[in-house]
Structure 1
Amino acid sequence: MAHYYTTGEFARMAHVTIRTIRYYDNKGLLKPSFVNESGYRMYSDEDFLKLQKILSLKYLGFSLKEISNMTIHDTSSDILQSLKMQIDLVQKKMENMNQMEHALQNTMQIVQQTNQIDWNEILNLIHLTDMEKTLVEQYKNGANLNIRISLHEQYSSNPKGWFPWLYEQIDFTGVQNLLEVGCGNGELWKQVPDNVLQGKYICLSDASGGMVHDAAVNIGRERKKFFDFRVLDCQELPFPDGHFQRVAANHVLFYVQNMAKALEEISRVLSGDGEFYCSTYGTGHMHEITELVQEFDPRISLSEVALYKLFGLENGQKLLEPYFSSVEKRMYEDSLWVDKPEPLLDYILSCHGNQSELLYPRQREFKKFLEEKIRRDGGISITKEAGIFICRK
């Protein structure tokens, strides 16, 4: 039998103030299960799960806006996934705190022994303190990437899947050394059989330490032995000339600050008979999602800049040709048919534009907008334009 509690009872049982519950209610984070005929706002046992997650994420450094985006679809059936996510964040925070304790102990020991301050240790402490903000940012980046991958995995019309197709484009014949720049969560390498990996040096790199960590976790303990995981900037690669027979960059080049420098470096570390694989989007890629959000609110932009303008299927060959003797384009045929609002809403909130700010106070209204579209048409059709350039020196 379900139990319900007034705001005061709920707050008392949770050891928080009534003001806190009302504040989260006003912010849309913790709405009551129902309002009774007398006007009392009634909370259920399941609402304790919601409150626990809100307080946990707040403790870990997330803003209320970010917490709202992470909890809007939560149900009691998500409890295991929710707890797993919180455990992962707590473990990362504990690692950071252990490093902080070790650095403080070292600094104190040096001062006690020499009566002098080691300014390098002080700088290290500053960097470790700043990692608290980096931890939150890296989690958001990883979570957003997983959301975007999940939409394609669940609703793509092409049964092959992007990552299996991408793996098939890479020629592993005679390869001794391979580098991936911008490895993300390492999803590509889950497609590759162990016998293909054996006997090769494969470096998975990303500019984000959080992504490199996620890649190692995603690939799994048993298969980590096949890879060298590194935090690297592809504009400054610490490898000798001609070291790699293959280099891969999956949806990466449009994020690079200095593309000319990155392509120079990639060409430099590529062997004379090597191949560089770089994927990107076209101008029509998922344009229906942009049209959808702008129909709801014309002010919404899902990206600060159109990524395909920086490096896309239309202009990529011209950008690559100065660095490679031949450039071949291959297209991946696919589309999406989405018949549920939640994955679309999650995807939209994971984008890099101003949508979080504008949708934050109207998320439930926007969800109803999506539900009506899906109810009327049975689903939402989304165009995909993605492909890969295969470059040879």
Structure 2
Amino acid sequence: MKLPGYYSSGQFARMANVSVRTIRFYDKQNILKPSYVTPAGARFYTDSDFARLQQILLLKYLGFSLDDIREMTIDDSDYLFLLNSLNLQKKLIQDQIEQMQLVESAIEDTVRVIEQEHQIDWSQMLDLIHLTNMEKSLKSQYQNASNISSRIRLHKEYSTNSKGWFPWIFEHCNLKPNERVLEIGCGNGALWTENLNHIPSNLSILLSDVSDGMLRDARRNLPSGDKRFSFACFDCHSFPSSLSAFDLIIANHVLFYCNDLPKVFKQIQRSLKKGGHFLCSTYGKRHMIEISELVQEFDSRIVLSAEKLYEQFGLENGEALLKPYFSDVQCIRYEDSIELDRAEPLIEYILSCHGNQNQMLLERYHEFRSFVEKKTAHGFHITKDAGIFLCTF
């Protein structure tokens, strides 16, 4: 039997240079299902299945378990979905190359010490052991980067406000020549990459994040050798003691993740010069509410976020939390919404959330996709309830 655009299990395996047994194993493990099964049980695959197999084989090569791969991949034929996945896999390989170069350097240093001094430097050996364990962080870094990319795509391509979020934030920074700026929780540096042509040439900008992986992304995304930027890895609950006299400190969608806001605000106070400004962003309780309602309608067990982050620090309570620490607090809302008539970017966003949706949807993905396609066919509106607090110290 020959089906146009479909490959038999044997053909499919030969295309990927793997065994038919491997293809059947991935089917049995619910990682790669065939697109069509005949009444007699013959399995057939498509080019979209091949793209998914590429993801699986690459992640397996990079050391991820089948359970990890099941959570990190999804069956989707949208070319933008696949392009996004390939770009993220490229980033993952770049991270691993950098880590392996560190391991190589550490081994060379250890060998040199042993050859020259005829003894083992145990502290150097311990550093080497820690370096070889670095791959454990790759999964979380990959998923974090994937989540950020999915969210940026939805907002960037389907928002109604022609001035994007990062240009709007940048505009309110009101940067002046010779100022010193600190961004905490800088992520991949999007605030600066999207406004690169408008940054004064004589500015000093320190980008910080608690994640080494995010800082690597920020370094890659910004021009190499740009002396305006420096980087530091630290938790915003505990700034390095050397940080002081900043004209502006920025925290873009960071504070609702902090478990001790008074401590963070005191760190910011200590690091600002008198008359300096603190700009922080957050969202309100109606932000993206239609997405939660959509998944709840499909399956009431799905929770996209285990926490209501706006209750920790949101537009409704942010001013009261900030006022004890700053002489003036001004709330400015970002007027915007999302309008779309395609399912793919919405599904991608849903899968990027921090809740239990992936466990619930992986077994019912095609059913869920059909459900979202019907909901978006005639247009789908999503409320955006976000803004900033501009504070003076």
Distance 2:238 2:9 in 1: 57
Cα pair 1:250 1:280 within 8 Å, conserved:
yes
Q: Structure 1 residues 61 and 312, CA, compared in 2 at 3 Å: closer, same or farther? A: farther
Cα pair 2:88 2:145 within 8 Å, conserved:
no
> What letter matches 1:98 in structure 2?
Q
Other structure's SS at 2:248 match? strand
Give the drift of 1:101: 2.3
**Pairing 1:321-336 to 2, within 5 Å after superposition:** 321-336=323-338
2:316 aligned to 289, 295, 314, which one?
Answer: 314
Which residue of structure 1 lines up, in the alignment, with residue 379 of structure 2?
379
> What letter matches 2:340 in structure 1?
V
What are the ranges of 5 or more consecutive residues in structure 1 without an aligned counterpart? none
Which residue of structure 1 lines up, in the alignment, with residue 186 of structure 2?
183
Which residue of structure 1 lines up, in the alignment, with residue 141 of structure 2?
138
Instruction: String of CA shifts for 1:221-244, please: whole Å, max 9, x gaps.
Output: 47x432112222222222546420
Which residue of structure 1 lines up, in the alignment, with residue 247 of structure 2?
245
Instruction: String of CA shifts for 1:160-183, please: whole Å, max 9, x gaps.
Output: 111111111112135520000011
Instruction: String of CA shifts for 1:315-340, please: whole Å, max 9, x gaps.
Output: 11111112111111011111111211
Distance 2:382 2:261 in 1: 29
2:200 aligned to 185, 197, 201, which one?
Answer: 197
What are the ranges of 5 or more consecutive residues in structure 2 without an aligned counterpart? none
Which residue of structure 1 lines up, in the alignment, with residue 351 of structure 2?
349
Which residue of structure 1 lines up, in the alignment, with residue 281 of structure 2?
279
1:30 equivalent in alignment to 2:32: yes
> What letter matches 2:327 in structure 1?
S
Give the drift of 1:245: 0.5
Distance 1:196 1:3 in 2: 51
Cα pair 1:242 1:272 within 8 Å, conserved:
no
Distance 1:77 1:160 in 2: 23
Other structure's SS at 2:52 match? helix
Give the drift of 1:186: 1.2
1:21 equivalent in alignment to 2:23: yes
Name which of structure 1's ranges 147-156 and 18-27 shifts more when overlaid on structure 2.
18-27
Q: Structure 1 residues 314 and 3, CA, compared in 2 at 3 Å: closer, same or farther? A: closer
Give the drift of 1:91: 2.4
Give the drift of 1:379: 2.0
1:90 aligned to 84, 89, 93, which one?
Answer: 93
Distance 1:66 1:175 in 2: 47
Cα pair 2:177 2:202 within 8 Å, conserved:
no
Give the drift of 1:363: 1.8
Name which of structure 1's ranges 71-80 and 122-131 shifts more when overlaid on structure 2.
71-80
Q: Structure 1 residues 75 and 316, CA, compared in 2 at 3 Å: closer, same or farther? A: closer
**Pairing 1:164-179 to 2, within 5 Å after superposition:** 164-173=167-176, 175-179=178-182
> What letter matches 1:131 in structure 2?
M
Cα pair 2:6 2:46 within 8 Å, conserved:
yes
Which residue of structure 2 lines up, in the alignment, with residue 56 of structure 1?
58
2:266 aligned to 237, 256, 264, which one?
Answer: 264
Cα pair 1:2 1:44 within 8 Å, conserved:
no
Q: Structure 1 residues 95 and 297, CA, compared in 2 at 3 Å: closer, same or farther? A: same
Distance 1:269 1:74 in 2: 49
Distance 2:80 2:171 in 1: 37
Which residue of structure 2 lines up, in the alignment, with residue 212 of structure 1?
215
Structure 2 length normalisation: TM-score? 0.90
Instruction: String of CA shifts for 1:67-97, please: whole Å, max 9, x gaps.
Output: 4553422457877665544333222212211
Cα pair 2:81 2:348 within 8 Å, conserved:
no
Structure 1 length normalisation: TM-score? 0.90
2:154 aligned to 151, 164, 182, which one?
Answer: 151
Which residue of structure 1 lines up, in the alignment, with residue 76 of structure 2?
73
Q: Structure 1 residues 268 and 294, CA, compared in 2 at 3 Å: closer, same or farther? A: same
Cα pair 1:33 1:42 within 8 Å, conserved:
yes
Q: Structure 1 residues 116 and 258, CA, compared in 2 at 3 Å: closer, same or farther? A: farther
Other structure's SS at 2:325 match? coil
Distance 1:77 1:148 in 2: 13
Cα pair 1:61 1:133 within 8 Å, conserved:
no
Percent of matched pairs sharing the same residue: 49
Other structure's SS at 2:278 match? strand
> What letter matches 1:262 in structure 2?
V
Number of corresponding residues: 390
Name which of structure 1's ranges 167-176 and 149-158 shifts more when overlaid on structure 2.
167-176
Q: Structure 1 residues 191 and 113, CA, compared in 2 at 3 Å: closer, same or farther? A: closer
